Structure formats: structure tokens, C-alpha cells
Chain A
Amino acid sequence: GQNIDQPTEMTATEGAIVQINCTYQTSGFNGLFWYQQHAGEAPTFLSYNVLDGLEEKGRFSSFLSRSKGYSYLLLKELQMKDSASYLCAVTDSNYQLIWGAGTKLIIKP
């Protein structure tokens, strides 16, 4: 079956750095997404990786290794507003999106 694994919950300190990991086993691969979802709100797009390597966008970076079925989202200079759930999703060989359950990130002052 197809599966995406990410930690259920993580805690970090304001101003610090946190890395949220995502591993996937899917039938084929056509890209990996990270979305941010604040409580009670809709998911919003953060990044899309289709090639191996690191993509940097401001305080957020996303890394992909297709051979390892692995990605991480790196958040730097954490702010209280970064408290949210982070969703990892993969587009498989049939161009269907497979979603992880999300990682709830708690930022403490």
C-alpha cells in the first residue's frame, strides 16, 4: 500500500530551528509537497520538490531524496505564528495526491 509517515507532534523554542521529517512509500513519484495548516483553517502551500536537493524560500527550506523516499521541512528563526500543522503529500505515478497525517508543531517562548 501507499504510505506517508511524519511525526505526530513536535515542540520547539521561539528563535530556534526545527526539522520536520517525512518518509514515503508510494507507487511512483511525481513530486512532494509541504503545506501549512493553522488550527481551524485551510492548508496553504509551502513548497513543491520534484528533484533531489534543497529548495530555500525565506525562513523555510524543503529537502528531497528520491532514492531514500525522504523529505524534510526546515524552519529557521521560529516565530510563534509558525505554530501549526505541517502536511506532507506525494503525487504518485497515477498523479494522485497521497497525504500524510500531518505534524503538529508547538512553539514555546
Chain B
Amino acid sequence: TAGITQAPTSQILAAGRSMTLRCTQDMRHNAMYWYRQDLGLGLRLIHYSNTAGTTGKGEVPDGYSVSRANTDDFPLTLASAVPSQTSVYFCASHVDSSNTGELFFGEGSRLTVL
């Protein structure tokens, strides 16, 4: 079972360039999330989607955009990358938006912005 697939696994990006991190799930989960994880900080929510066709802003949305055209895919775009966006990015999904059960994570995308 694939679960959640993220791509790329790692990327080095020049500041000012754009980048899209891909996330695909095959569990037919309604809710999907993008987090960033930095040393010494907890997982911070960037954007979320409770169901296909809807998205919302999390704790740290600036500089990022998302779309949810269908149930399976939830790409994260950095329009013009800055060094402070250097981080590990995790995509996650949940059966619904209640967050009362297990959250499934992708393997992460390590992004370095120079």
C-alpha cells in the first residue's frame, strides 16, 4: 500500500526560484495537510484542505500556496523561494477534518534554499 507519496525527496533551490512539492495519497482521505519541521520547533501547519475543492491557511502560510483539484493530490508551491523556507516538509492526510484519529504522513521533502 502506497499511502502518501511525496516528491521530490530532496531539492536544492536558488533563492527567487519557484518550486512545487507534490503530494499524492491513495487512501481516499478527505483531509490533507502540509507541515514544515524545523530543528527545535514542532510541526507547523502551512496550509490544509478539509475536502477536495477547499483549502485553508495554517499557522505559517506566507510564501506558500496550495490547490486541491481532486481528492488524491495536494501540491504545495513556493512562488519565490527564500532561505528561511529551508526546511523539511511533510504532507499528511486524515480520513476527515476531525483530527481524532491517526494522521498519515508522507516521507518528507527536504528543501534547501540558497
Contacts and interface: CB of A to CB of B under 8 A. Distances in A.
Interface of A: 4, 8, 30-31, 33, 35, 41-45, 48, 50, 87, 89, 91, 95-97, 99-102
A100 B44 CA distance: 10
B40 interface: yes
Interface string B82-104: 00000000100000011111111
8 contacts: A30-B98, A48-B100, A91-B98, A91-B100, A96-B45, A97-B45, A97-B103, A99-B44
A74 to B, nearest CB: 20
Contact of B42 (A48, A50, A100): A100
B42 A42 contact: no
B69 interface: no
A30 B98 CA distance: 9
Interface stretch (B16-24, B70-78, B105-113): B105-113
Given A42-B105, A43-B105, A87 B100 contact: no
Interface residues of B, number: 19
B114 interface: no
B41 A101 contact: yes
B51 to A, nearest CB: 14
Contacts of A100: 42
B5 to A, nearest CB: 12
B43 interface: yes
Contacts of B98: 30, 91, 95
